[in-house]
């Protein structure tokens, strides 16, 4: 596949309207491709149809952008890129198509309030009036997409396609969706969130399957004409709520995972691990903007060190980096970005490309469950009033990732498709609200093999309740609670005691133990003196502990060779250092000898992998704000006495110390990143 070894990529973002005669009149393909070539870009993503729906190529379907005056921008870009040795991935928008929206009102999505998307103003979640959203369940729209994709594949030769916006921005109540749901279930589309009912949860899963089926349809339309063209669907909405219907099922419709993100390095590290593990082929593609912090800030540019870290973080996870640049409305670019900044960045990072790929060495794996992206407490809410926030389903696993990075406990982030073969010593289920039966099959098999589990918050399947020997009763009425360690939990809950319990600023799940065999209670629930949310209080500014209960808050269950630990709330969401340390202590208790140990500070990530019999390490100085300051006196400790270490590329030998049967590798100074090999 052409993507192998192709790590340096670029997209010029150009969703430009044509009401102004000046728009796109200054496009210069020769200047653009020369800039890409000079920067060392290996693949260009070239816009064919943007969100405006106005094509950048001559088409028999829809309409071409007026500003091009008939010029075949796409065709010229493909030709010039290929002449320069640059692969081409053609960009095509789906669902977000203003031309289709205006010319085919019958294709429009219909929101819970009965509105089409361009009727909204100044709202969030694309409800600004700018975006025309059409429904992929509409057969007429599907045929339009197929004709567009097949026209492109008949008329041009290119390496891949990126199909953007493979999601619904809201629940759609259009005639096509209503008819489809009625035919498949015999029911009308729900108007109220009922997470406590199986039929509503199945409705959510059905929408995920519909979106995945549409993605397969679009991919098949391409492959029918050109089976060799790779297909990438937009996968960044995997971190968004259930509303968008973006799930891991999309991986059945792609050749590799890819998507755009505009957060910091912790977010990138988390999603890069997840993409690496769920992508059907590698490298996956990590997109982020040249603009700082995102495309809205059209004229600001990230620093060289920030872009270097973005590229290297993707690279060590065996991911390609795609720079999303922003074209000016008149079609001009800022060539200095390529002849200067990106040329400097890629001239550094390209020297490390041959060392990446291979298997990550890790002790723990965080499971990101794409079918459980909801808050089960948001029950009985009208679909017009639902929340679009990325809530605890995302915050909890990312917080777990942050703690494991800061404590240098080697970890991965996996998807549902990885559960069956996972070999980590512990899988972390961080506030996973629902577990499907096939996922539960994989988890049970993992436990039978001797794997350990950490489960926080909801117990997402009755079979997991049975495995733990418990039954969930509900949640505390109090929204501010505590965990008081028992004698058996004192070591894990260091710095906390019955008099000084660990603070949980949320409700906790309540359960009863139905099988006491091999269960140890490590902490019990403690509640404030008075009910939170009322005018009564013990201390006016706070909710100090006052009601000590016997209700289990943290339990440890032995299941043959495996250990399962459940916490009544996600401790990993805690902000205080010693509270976060309790989460680390729990996970560390479920691991044996660590792959490596390090004293790297909390913002430095240490990654270890094996490739072709060689043992590599990367240190990434992931400070979230520029300027990024150097870090001094780091060590990485590995098993085996007398090991040697040398920096990649430069070959510089690193200092080492022998500590019994282990070797400590000494790094005097870390600037942005360092890669080295241990022999």
Q: State the CATH number of the domain containing residue 663.
A: 2.60.40.1180
**Looking at residues 507-523, what average pLDDT do you find?**
97
Tell me how far apart the alpha carbons of residues 148 and 68 are, in angstroms, rounded to a whole number. Answer: 19
Tell me how far apart the alpha carbons of residues 538 and 545 are, in angstroms, rounded to a whole number. Answer: 9
* Alpha-carbon distances of 673 from 311, 604, 663, 667, 676, rounded to whole Å: 11, 9, 21, 11, 10
Tell me how far apart the alpha carbons of residues 339 and 35 are, in angstroms, rounded to a whole number. Answer: 6
What lies within 8 Å, CB to CB, of 227 at 6+ separation is: none
Do residues 374 and 262 share a domain? no
* CA-closest candidate to residue 60, choices 152, 129, 123, 140: 152
What strand order describes the sheet that includes 662-670? 597-598, 631-639, 662-670, 655-659
Do residues 135 and 249 share a domain? yes
**Looking at residues 148-171, what average pLDDT do you find?**
98
Q: Say how many domains are in the chain.
A: 3
Do residues 615 and 577 share a domain? no
Assigned domain for 179 exists: no
Assigned domain for 543 exists: no
**Looking at residues 146-158, what average pLDDT do you find?**
98
Assigned domain for 496 exists: no
The tokens for 408 are: 């240098």
Do residues 371 and 457 share a domain? yes
Do residues 327 and 458 share a domain? no
Tell me how far apart the alpha carbons of residues 546 and 380 are, in angstroms, rounded to a whole number. Answer: 32
Percent of the chain with pLDDT over 70: 100
| Paired residues of 185 in beta bridges | none
Q: What is the pLDDT of residues 32-91, one digit of tens each?
A: 999 999 999 999 999 999 999 999 999 999 999 999 999 999 999 999 999 999 999 999
| Paired residues of 288 in beta bridges | 323
Q: Confirm if 525 and 482 have CB atoms less than 8 A apart.
A: yes
Q: Say what the pLDDT of residue 93 is.
A: 98
Do residues 305 and 404 share a domain? no
Do residues 343 and 401 share a domain? no
The tokens for 251 are: 């991986």
Phi, psi of 146, deg, nearest 5: -60, -45
Q: Which domain holds residue 446?
A: 364-472+512-519+549-589
Q: Confirm if 77 and 35 have CB atoms less than 8 A apart.
A: no
* CA-closest candidate to residue 476, choices 428, 435, 524, 521: 524
The pLDDT-based confidence of 501 (bands split at 50, 70, 90) is very high
Secondary structure of residue 419 in the 3-state scheme: coil
What lies within 8 Å, CB to CB, of 606 at 6+ separation is: 408, 410, 596, 598, 600, 617, 618, 619, 636
Q: What is the pLDDT of residues 242-291, one digit of tens each?
A: 999 999 999 999 999 999 999 999 999 999 999 999 999 999 999 999 99
Last residue of one domain, picked from the residues 536, 564, 589: 589
What lies within 8 Å, CB to CB, of 428 at 6+ separation is: 364, 365, 366, 367, 397, 400, 453, 454, 587
* CA-closest candidate to residue 569, choices 514, 510, 513: 510
Query: What is the DSSP code (8-state) at residue 77?
Result: H
* CA-closest candidate to residue 397, choices 370, 425, 359, 362: 370
Half-sphere exposure of 652 toward its Cβ, with a 13 Å CA cutoff?
A: 10
Tell me how far apart the alpha carbons of residues 418 and 605 are, in angstroms, rounded to a whole number. Answer: 23
The pLDDT-based confidence of 163 (bands split at 50, 70, 90) is very high
The tokens for 555 are: 């339990």
Q: Where are the alpha helices (DSSP H) in 561-642?
A: 577-589
What lies within 8 Å, CB to CB, of 575 at 6+ separation is: none
Q: β-strands 284-289, 258-260: how paired?
A: parallel
Q: Where are the alpha helices (DSSP H) in 373-461?
A: 392-406, 437-448
What lies within 8 Å, CB to CB, of 465 at 6+ separation is: 459, 471, 472, 511
Q: Say what the pLDDT of residue 67 is.
A: 97
Assigned domain for 524 exists: no
Assigned domain for 28 exists: yes
Q: Say what the pLDDT of residue 442 is.
A: 98
Do residues 415 and 278 share a domain? no
Last residue of one domain, picked from the residues 333, 355, 377: 355
Phi, psi of 294, deg, nearest 5: -155, 180
Last residue of one domain, picked from the residues 299, 324, 355: 355
Beta-carbon count within 10 A of 19 CB: 7
Q: Say what the pLDDT of residue 389 is.
A: 87
Q: Where are the alpha helices (DSSP H) in 173-197?
A: 175-185
Tell me how far apart the alpha carbons of residues 135 and 175 are, in angstroms, rounded to a whole number. Answer: 10
The tokens for 207 are: 């929408």
Give kind and range of the element (H or E) at residue 321: strand 319-326
* CA-closest candidate to residue 287, choices 252, 319, 317: 319
Tell me how far apart the alpha carbons of residues 409 and 389 are, in angstroms, rounded to a whole number. Answer: 30
Do residues 291 and 230 share a domain? yes
Q: Say what the pLDDT of residue 279 is.
A: 98
Assigned domain for 527 exists: no
| Paired residues of 306 in beta bridges | none
* Alpha-carbon distances of 567 from 232, 429, 433, 474, 564, rounded to whole Å: 38, 10, 14, 14, 10
Q: Say what the pLDDT of residue 294 is.
A: 86
What lies within 8 Å, CB to CB, of 296 at 6+ separation is: none
- Number of residues written out for the chain: 679
Secondary structure of residue 303 in the 3-state scheme: coil
Query: What is the DSSP code (8-state) at residue 128?
Result: T
In the predicted model, what is the mean pLDDT of the chain?
Answer: 97
Tell me how far apart the alpha carbons of residues 153 and 142 are, in angstroms, rounded to a whole number. Answer: 17
Tell me how far apart the alpha carbons of residues 482 and 507 are, in angstroms, rounded to a whole number. Answer: 9
Do residues 412 and 280 share a domain? no
Q: Residue holding tokens 């928008």?
A: 93
The pLDDT-based confidence of 546 (bands split at 50, 70, 90) is very high
Assigned domain for 443 exists: yes
Q: Say what the pLDDT of residue 469 is.
A: 98
Q: Say what the pLDDT of residue 129 is.
A: 96
Q: If you write DSSP's letter for every residue of 182-244 in order, what string do you get?
A: HHHHSSPPPSB--TTSHHHHHHHHHHHHHHHHHHHHHHHHHHHH-TTSEEEE--GGGGS-GGG
Tell me how far apart the alpha carbons of residues 96 and 602 are, in angstroms, rounded to a whole number. Answer: 40
| Paired residues of 530 in beta bridges | none
Alpha carbon 48 to chain centroid, angstroms: 26
**Looking at residues 451-457, what average pLDDT do you find?**
98
Q: Say what the pLDDT of residue 297 is.
A: 86
Do residues 344 and 373 share a domain? no
Phi, psi of 616, deg, nearest 5: -115, 150
Q: State the CATH number of the domain containing residue 373.
A: 3.40.50.880
Q: Residue holding tokens 């469950």?
A: 369
Assigned domain for 502 exists: no
Do residues 566 and 420 share a domain? yes
Tell me how far apart the alpha carbons of residues 32 and 81 are, in angstroms, rounded to a whole number. Answer: 10
Q: Say what the pLDDT of residue 403 is.
A: 98
User: Does the pLDDT of residue 391 top 90, yes or no?
Assistant: no
Q: Say what the pLDDT of residue 293 is.
A: 86
Q: What is the pLDDT of residues 172-208, one digit of tens each?
A: 999 999 999 999 999 999 999 999 999 999 999 999 9
């Amino acid at each position: 596949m052409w993507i192998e070894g192709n790590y340096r990529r670029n997209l010029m973002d150009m969703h430009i309207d044509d009401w102004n005669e000046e728009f796109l009149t200054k496009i210069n393909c020769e200047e653009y491709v020369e800039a890409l070539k000079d920067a060392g870009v290996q693949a260009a993503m070239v816009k064919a149809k943007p969100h405006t729906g106005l094509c950048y190529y001559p088409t028999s379907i829809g309409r071409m952008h007026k500003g091009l005056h008939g010029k075949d921008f796409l065709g010229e870009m493909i030709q010039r890129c290929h002449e320069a040795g640059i692969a081409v991935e053609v960009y095509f928008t789906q669902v977000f198509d203003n031309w289709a929206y205006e010319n085919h009102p019958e294709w429009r999505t219909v929101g819970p309030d009965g509105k089409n998307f361009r009727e909204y103003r100044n709202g969030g979640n694309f409800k600004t009036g700018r975006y025309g959203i059409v429904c992929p369940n509409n057969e007429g729209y599907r045929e339009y997409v197929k004709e567009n994709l097949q026209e492109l594949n008949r008329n041009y030769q290119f390496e891949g396609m990126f199909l953007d916006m493979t999601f619904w921005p809201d629940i759609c109540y259009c005639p096509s969706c209503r008819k489809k749901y009625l035919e498949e279930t015999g029911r009308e589309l729900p108007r109220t969130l009922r997470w406590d009912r199986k039929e509503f949860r199945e409705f959510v899963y059905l929408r995920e399957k519909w979106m995945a089926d549409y993605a397969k349809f679009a991919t098949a339309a391409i492959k029918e004409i050109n089976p060799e063209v790779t297909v990438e669907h937009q996968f960044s909405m995997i971190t968004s709520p259930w509303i968008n219907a973006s799930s891991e099922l999309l991986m059945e419709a792609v050749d590799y995972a890819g998507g755009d993100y505009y957060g910091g390095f912790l977010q990138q590290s988390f999603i890069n691990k997840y993409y690496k593990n769920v992508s059907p082929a590698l490298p996956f593609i990590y997109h982020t903007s040249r603009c700082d912090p995102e495309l809205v800030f059209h004229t600001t540019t990230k620093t060289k060190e920030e872009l270097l870290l973005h590229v290297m973080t993707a690279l060590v996870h065996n991911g390609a980096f795609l720079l999303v640049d922003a074209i000016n409305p008149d079609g001009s670019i800022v060539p200095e970005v390529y002849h200067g900044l990106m040329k400097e960045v890629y001239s550094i990072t390209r020297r490390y490309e041959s060392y990446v790929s291979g298997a990550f060495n890790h002790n723990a794996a965080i499971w990101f469950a794409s079918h459980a992206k909801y808050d089960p407490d948001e029950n009985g809410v009208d679909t017009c009033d639902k929340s679009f926030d990325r809530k605890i389903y995302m915050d909890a696993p990312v917080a777990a990732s942050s703690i494991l990075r800061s404590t240098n406990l080697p970890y991965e982030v996996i998807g549902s498709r990885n559960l069956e073969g996972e070999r980590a010593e512990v899988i972390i289920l961080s506030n996973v609200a629902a577990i499907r039966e096939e996922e539960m099959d994989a988890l049970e098999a993992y436990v039978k093999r001797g794997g350990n589990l950490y489960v926080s918050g909801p117990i997402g399947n009755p079979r997991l309740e049975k495995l733990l020997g418990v039954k969930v009763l509900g949640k505390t009425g109090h929204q501010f609670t505590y965990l008081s360690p028992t004698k058996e939990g004192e070591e894990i809950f260091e710095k906390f005691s019955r008099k000084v319990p660990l603070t949980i600023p949320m409700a906790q799940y309540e359960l009863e133990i139905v099988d006491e065999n091999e269960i140890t209670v490590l902490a019990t629930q403690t509640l404030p003196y008075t009910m939170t949310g009322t005018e009564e209080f013990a201390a006016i500014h706070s909710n100090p502990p006052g009601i000590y209960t016997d209700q289990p808050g943290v339990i440890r269950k032995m299941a043959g060779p495996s250990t399962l630990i459940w916490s009544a709330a996600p401790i990993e969401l805690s902000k205080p250092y010693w509270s976060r340390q309790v989460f680390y202590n729990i996970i560390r208790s479920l691991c044996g000898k660590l792959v490596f140990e390090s004293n790297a500070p909390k913002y430095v990530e240490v990654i270890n992998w094996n490739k072709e019999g060689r043992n590599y390490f990367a240190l990434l100085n992931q400070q979230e704000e520029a300027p990024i300051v150097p870090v001094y006196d780091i060590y990485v400790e590995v098993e085996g006495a007398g090991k040697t270490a040398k920096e990649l590329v430069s070959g510089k030998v690193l200092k080492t110390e022998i500590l019994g049967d282990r070797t400590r590798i000494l790094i005097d100074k870390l600037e942005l990143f360092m890669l080295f090999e241990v022999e």
